[in-house]
Amino acid sequence: MIGHQLPQPSDGPPPDRPRAYPTHETPHTPLRPMWCCRACGHPWPCATARILLKVEYGRNEIGLSIYLSGLFYEATRDLYRLNP
């Protein structure tokens, strides 16, 4: 039997200050299979993408690690196909 309970997740941002999602800007996401940033062309994750990922995941370092591990696997496969 588990001796402790997990903490209740937060409700997200307050209603008077929702997360900003700019719709007119190109997102700082990877352009596959080269793994360059769609917005600035730097190797992904660019400086802006790193900041946005940190803001999005906050203190959830395990979730961020799992997400980036999956992307690392995909990037390794894509980049190997481009240059074996």
In a domain? residue 73: yes
CB neighbourhood size of 49 (10 A): 19
The pLDDT assigned to 3 comes to 59
CB neighbourhood size of 5 (10 A): 6
Output 35 or 6, whichever has higher pLDDT. Answer: 35
The pLDDT assigned to 66 comes to 95
Structural domain boundaries, residue 51: 30-82
Its sign, for the CA torsion 40, 45, 47, 51, is positive
Domain count, the chain: 1
pLDDT at 35 over 70: yes
In a domain? residue 46: yes
23 CB burial (10 A radius; 0-12, 13-18, 19+): exposed
Which of the four pLDDT bands, split at 50, 70 and 90, describes residue 18?
A: low
In this structure, the dihedral spanned by the alpha carbons of residues 38, 39, 42 and 48, taken in order and rounded to 10 degrees, is -120
Nearest CA to 75 out of 43, 28, 42 is that of: 43
In a domain? residue 54: yes
In a domain? residue 2: no
Tally of residues, the chain: 84
